[in-house]
Each structure stands twice: as structure tokens, then as C-alpha cells.
Amino acid sequence: MTDKKDDGSLSFLNIPREENGYFNCATTTQQKIVNTSFWIIDIQEHVNTKQGEDRTLVLIKDNVNDSESDAKKFFTNSKSIKYTLSQVKIMNKFPRKATLRGNGNRYFLE
């Protein structure tokens, strides 16, 4: 196994993400990703935003092996999504492949 040469970048150090951080990546919306499939990498629960309290922040990637810089995040207040993702977190089963569906203003995962 060959050791990579330190290129001086922060990414070279592979510092783990802060446990209670808010994911340093681009933000998207549920409306923009409805009817698409993606990998749910992690969540942050009970986040307060200017749109309201107790939101869930969802970290997603198109491909599970994409770099952190290719990840996106979105906020949700969907009871269905929040319940489903909290159960996955309790089971410690992230990442998970999912498809976001919408019906009017209601969103859910399949």
C-alpha cells in the first residue's frame, strides 16, 4: 500500500465531520428533487430555521461514493420523512437509497 503525499489541502487530512455540524455543501429543496432517487447519507434532527422550528436537515448524494463536495442538503418538515429517517437513524442504517415523492404539499420517501 502506497502512502499518498500530503498535498497541503484540508481534504487530505480526512477530518471527520463534526457530529452536530450542519453539512458544508450546497442546499437544494424538496421541490427540486421530487421524483428523483438519491442516497441519504446522514441527517440532523431538531434544527430551527427562519421557516420554522424542529426541521430535519438531510444530507444526500447522487451516488453513495461521491465526494462530500458533491453532496447536497435539504430541510424537511414532512412528518412522514422525519419519522422514516429517525427510524433509520435509530437502526444506524445510513446510507440508504430512496426516492422522494410528492403529492401536493406532502412529501414522502420510498
Whether 4 maps to a domain, the answer reads: no
Whether 99 maps to a domain, the answer reads: yes
Q: Please check the confidence at residue 46 and state whether its pLDDT lies above 90.
A: yes
Whether 8 maps to a domain, the answer reads: no
Whether 21 maps to a domain, the answer reads: no
Q: Please check the confidence at residue 2 and state whether its pLDDT lies above 60.
A: no
Which structural domain range is residue 97 located in?
28-109
Q: How far apart are CA 48 and CA 55, in angstroms?
A: 6
Q: What was the pLDDT predicted at 35?
A: 97
Among 44, 42, 31, CA closest to 100:
31
Whether 22 maps to a domain, the answer reads: no
Number of domains in the chain: 1
Whether 15 maps to a domain, the answer reads: no
DSSP structure string for 72-94: EEEEE--HHHHHHHHHHHHHT--
pLDDT tens figures, 7-26 = 887 777 776 666 556 788 99
Whether 63 maps to a domain, the answer reads: yes
Whether 35 maps to a domain, the answer reads: yes
